[in-house]
């Protein structure tokens, strides 16, 4: 169910929507969860960003950036400094928007694992959903490494059985082969109609994602991979402020510490576990 300013949402013929947007809206309407927005603009921003997450995921799938372990990551040195841990640090004097676009425009120069891929997709989608100057002000300290994210993305998890296109889910492989630990799971963007994009696997149905991971289990294992019942999302409402009001005041922020865990393909909740250990040792 969708509510705008406390009123039940009514689709208007005056709203120009494409197939992806109509699918997102229909699924929201059909869900028992109440999706509440203060304004039409706030609602439309979420629909736009969800669509752009899907578009960015499909564009990455069509690119030439291979899956790699964190320590084997690579990037274009014109825009990024490659750290010893496999992170991408934005170079001084480079616009964040130019650096993110380059990952798509010169994809063969890059290699990364699936959690980093999700962050790249998020930043690319946000860039395509808001004013470029606002994006560059918000994300001037870009550092790409696993699930490390700028606080203004507002990434969070929620347990739910109702996933929407543009969500990120995790296919867990609890009995992965210890010789290939990077197949401990797969972070995947929900594309809609039972299709998912996971960097290193491609675009597949949930069944085929699970079949792929099951082939990477330890020898003799019968414990199947499965789709976890939580989704990862950016803060659509927080980001909407900078799209609706591109001159909105950008407050100083404390950046999260970078957790150098050296484990490819971890879920966001696993990354939060490592992050919380820093704050609560």
Q: Are strands 2-4 and 35-37 parallel, antiparallel or unpaired?
A: parallel
- β-pair partners for 171: 186, 227
- pLDDT greater than 60 at residue 14: no
Q: Looking at residue 222, what is its pLDDT?
A: 94
- pLDDT greater than 70 at residue 179: yes
Across the range 143-152, mean pLDDT stands at 97
**How does pLDDT run across 76-109, given as a tens digit for each residue?**
999 999 999 999 999 999 999 999 999 999 999 9
DSSP string, 86-103: S-EEEPTT--HHHHHHHH
**CA distance linking residue 237 with residue 254, whole number of Å:** 20
Q: Looking at residue 1, what is its pLDDT?
A: 84
Across the range 223-246, mean pLDDT stands at 91
Q: Looking at residue 42, what is its pLDDT?
A: 92
- pLDDT greater than 90 at residue 208: yes
- pTM (two decimals): 0.95
């Amino acid at each position: 169910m969708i509510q705008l300013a406390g009123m039940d949402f009514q689709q208007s013929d005056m709203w120009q929507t494409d197939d992806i947007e109509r699918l997102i809206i229909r699924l929201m309407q059909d869900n028992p969860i109440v999706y509440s927005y203060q304004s039409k603009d706030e609602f439309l921003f979420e629909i736009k960003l969800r669509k752009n997450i899907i578009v960015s995921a499909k564009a990455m799938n069509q690119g030439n950036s291979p899956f790699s372990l964190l320590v084997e990551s690579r990037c274009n040195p014109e825009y990024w400094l490659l750290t010893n841990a496999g992170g991408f640090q934005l170079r001084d004097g480079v616009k964040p928007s130019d650096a993110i676009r380059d990952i798509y425009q010169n994809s063969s120069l890059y290699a990364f694992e699936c959690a980093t891929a999700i962050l790249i997709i998020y930043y690319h989608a946000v860039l395509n959903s808001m004013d470029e100057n606002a994006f560059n002000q918000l994300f001037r300290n870009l550092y790409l490494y696993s699930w490390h994210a700028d606080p203004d993305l507002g990434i969070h998890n929620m347990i739910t059985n109702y996933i929407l296109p543009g969500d990120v889910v995790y296919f867990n492989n609890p009995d992965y082969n210890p010789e290939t630990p990077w197949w401990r799971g797969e972070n995947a963007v929900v594309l809609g109609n039972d299709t998912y994009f996971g960097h290193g696997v491609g675009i597949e149905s949930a069944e085929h994602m699970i079949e792929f991971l099951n082939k990477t289990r330890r020898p003799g294992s019968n414990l199947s991979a499965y789709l976890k019942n939580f989704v990862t999302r950016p803060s659509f409402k927080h980001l909407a402020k900078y799209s609706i009001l591109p001159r909105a005041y950008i407050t100083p922020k404390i950046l999260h510490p970078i957790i150098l865990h050296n484990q490819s393909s971890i879920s966001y909740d696993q990354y939060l576990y490592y992050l919380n250990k820093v704050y609560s040792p």
